[in-house]
Amino acid sequence: MPQILNLQRLILASAAFAIILMASSITWADPITITTGNPGNQNTDNVLFNNGSLSHSGLLVQGDFNGAGAGFIVDFTSASGNGNLGVSGGQAVLVGGTGNVPFSNVTMQLENGATFTNLILNIDVTNGLPPPTQVQFTINYTLAGGQVFNQVFTVTTNGQNFFGIQAAEGAVINSVTVQGLNGTTFQDINQWRVGGFSQPNSVPEPASLILLGSGLVGTAGALRRRLKNRLQK
């Protein structure tokens, strides 16, 4: 009799421990890394601003791709000034628009809920700003729930402030916001490159993981009932 009860407790404890481990990984996993310096262009596609059917000035600036990202559209919006943005010559150069020059904030994301895992960008801070100039990255990503990741970097005013943002462990990035801090503003942000494109609903949703946890509890209950029935026979 005591051995049966101990076995029951062990089964229930194992199921509970599995659920705790799953919940812990959901809460504390941190799969986003940001690196400084040009990480190279492997597995990324250059954002293009030459499609005449897309918006290239105003409250929304759009870009597209002609490689792995063909068919995806990227949107850029700004929360600084009056929100206007524009584009310039060169490699995917994003600039402030009328009433937002220089700009200090921009958010990029793919349209229609699409996601990505890699982003490369080069920030040119406005010349003449006193040091230290700082930028903050806010990455909204999905890992069984969609936590928000923030990190602050100090940058120089002489260009070539390359950053690479990478999602791992099955996470996908929904949007990235670049914000100048303590008066830091941007002359432009250029050489945008994106990789790891994915259509929406191609990653497990939180509800799926809840069902998994419920399944573990159900399995433990079924085993307990089976042991109880054997004991009563």
How many residues are listed for the chain in this entry? 233
Q: Tell me the whole-structure pTM to 2 decimals.
A: 0.75
Q: What is the DSSP letter of 101?
A: S
Question: The tokens 């085993």 sit on which residue?
Answer: 223
Distance CA(35)–CA(120), nearest Å, equals: 10
pLDDT tens, position by position, for the chain (233 residues)?
Answer: 555 545 455 455 555 444 444 443 344 457 999 999 988 888 999 999 999 999 999 999 999 999 999 999 999 999 999 999 999 987 789 999 999 999 999 999 999 999 999 999 999 999 999 999 999 999 999 987 788 999 999 999 988 899 999 999 999 999 999 999 999 999 999 999 999 999 987 544 444 444 444 554 455 555 455 555 554 55
Cα distances (angstroms) measured from residue 127 to each of 17, 104, 123, 136, 155: 55, 13, 12, 18, 12
Task: Give residues with Cβ within 8 angstroms of 35, minimum separation 6.
Answer: 163, 164, 166
Q: 3-state class of 111 per DSSP?
A: helix
- Cβ proximity of 197 and 136 under 8 Å: no
**The pLDDT of residue 145:** 76
